[in-house]
Structure 1
Amino acid sequence: MNSTIALIVNVPTLLLLYVLIYFTQALSGKRQFYGVSLNSDYFEENEFKSLDKKFKLLVTVGFILFTILTLVYIYVFKAYEASSLVPMLGFCLYQFLVYIHVHNKVKLLKSELVLNNPNIELEKTRVILDTDFMNEKNRIINRFSLMFYIPVIILTLVGVYVLTKYNSIPDTIPTHWGPSGAADAFSEKSFGKILASVGMMVGLGFVICISSIYSLKSRVKLSIDSIDASKKANLHYLNMFAYTFLVLNIGCVVMFIDILLATLNASDVNPSIIWPCTFIIIVASIYQTYLYYKSPTKSKNAVYSVDDEDSLWIFGSIYNNPNDPSLFVTKRFGVGWTINIGSTKGKILFILPFMIILISLVFLV
Structure 2
Amino acid sequence: MITFLFGFILLFITVLQAFMPKFLKQTEAFGVYVPEQYAKKETVVRLKKRYTQVVLSTGLIILTGYLIWSLSQEPNEEILALISVGVQFTTIFISIGYYFIMHLRMKKLKVTEGWATGKNEVRVVDLQFQKKLQLIPRIVFVIPMIITVGLIIYTFIKYDQMPNMIPTHWGPSGQPDAFSEKTYFSVISLPLILLVMQGMFLMMSEGMKFSGAKINPANKKTSVEQQLAFRKYSSWFALFITITLTLMMGYSHLQTIHPEIATPWIMFALPLAFLVITFVGVGIYTVKVGQSGSRLKVGEANPSIEDKIAVDDDRYWKGGMFYINKDDPSILVEKRFGVGWTFNFARPISWILLFLPLIIIIAIAFSL
Shorter-chain TM-score: which interval? 0.7 to 0.9
Q: Residue 132 of structure 2 aligns with which residue?
A: 136
How far did 1:144 drift? Answer: 1.9
Q: TM-score, normalised by structure 1?
A: 0.81
In percent, how many aligned pairs have the same letter? 23
C-alpha contact (below 8 Å) 1:38/1:122 kept by paired residues: no
Give the CA deviation at 1:24. Answer: 0.6
In the alignment, is residue 209 of structure 1 matched against residue 202 of structure 2? yes
Distance in 2 separating the partners of 1:250 and 1:212: 14
Offset from partner CA, 1:165-192 (integer Å, 9 cap, x none): 4443212222223567x23422232435
Answer yes or no: is the 8 Å Cα contact 1:10–1:70 preserved in 2.
no
Alignment of 1:191-210 (within 5 A): 191=183, 192-210=185-203
Question: Which of 346, 359, 363 lines up with 2:363 in the alignment?
Answer: 359
Aligned length: 351
Query: 321-330 vs 239-248, which deviates more?
Result: 239-248
Q: Could you tell which deviates more after superposition, 95-104 or 310-319?
A: 95-104
Equivalent position of 2:52 in the other structure: 56
Aligned partners of 1:183, 1:223: CA distance in 2, in Å? 54
Q: Could you tell me which residue of structure 2 aligns to residue 336 of structure 1?
A: 340
Partner of 2:167: 174
1:25 to 21, 30, 34: 21
Unaligned runs of 5+ in 2: none
Most deviating of 105-114 and 188-197: 188-197
Relative distance call for 1:94 and 1:184 in structure 2 (3 A) is farther
TM-score (norm 2): 0.80
Instruction: Please say if residues 226 and 292 of structure 2, whose CA atoms lie closer than 8 Å, have aligned partners that are also in contact.
Output: no
Shift of the 179–292 alpha-carbon distance from structure 1 to 2, 3 Å rule, reads farther
For residues 198-250 of structure 1, give each alpha carbon's deviation from its aligned partner in whole angstroms, at most 9, with x where no partner exists.
33222112112212332354333445467566655654554444333322221
Counterpart of 1:102, as a letter, is M
1:347 aligns with 2:340: no
1:183 to 166, 175, 186: 175
SS at match of 1:124: strand
- 2: CA distance, partners of 1:198 / 1:122: 54
Which 5+ residue runs of structure 1 have no aligned equivalent? none
- Aligned ranges 1:1-365 → 2 under 5 Å: 5-59=1-55, 60-65=57-62, 67-69=64-66, 71-73=68-70, 75-76=72-73, 77-78=75-76, 79-114=79-114, 117-118=115-116, 124-131=121-128, 133-137=129-133, 140-141=134-135, 144-163=137-156, 165-178=158-171, 182-191=174-183, 192-215=185-208, 217-222=210-215, 224=217, 234-265=227-258, 270=266, 277-289=274-286, 290-293=288-291, 295=293, 308-364=312-368
Q: Against the structure 1 CA distance between its residues 45 and 234, is the aligned structure 2 distance closer, same or farther, given a 3 Å change threshold?
A: closer
| Cα distance in 2, alignment partners of residues 288 and 100 from structure 1 | 25
Distance 1:223 1:316, change over 3 A: closer
Distance in 2, Cα, partners of 1:329 & 1:98: 24
Separation of aligned partners in 2, 1:197 and 1:344: 29
Note closer, same or farther for the CA distance 1:174–1:286 as it changes in structure 2 (3 Å cut): same
Cα 1:225–1:108 change in 2 (3 A) is closer
Distance 1:146 1:122 in 2: 45
Q: For residue 127 of structure 1, what is the amino acid of its counterpart? A: V
CA distance 1:166–1:319, change in 2 (3 Å): farther
- In structure 2, what is the Cα distance between the partners aligned to 1:196 and 1:234? 38
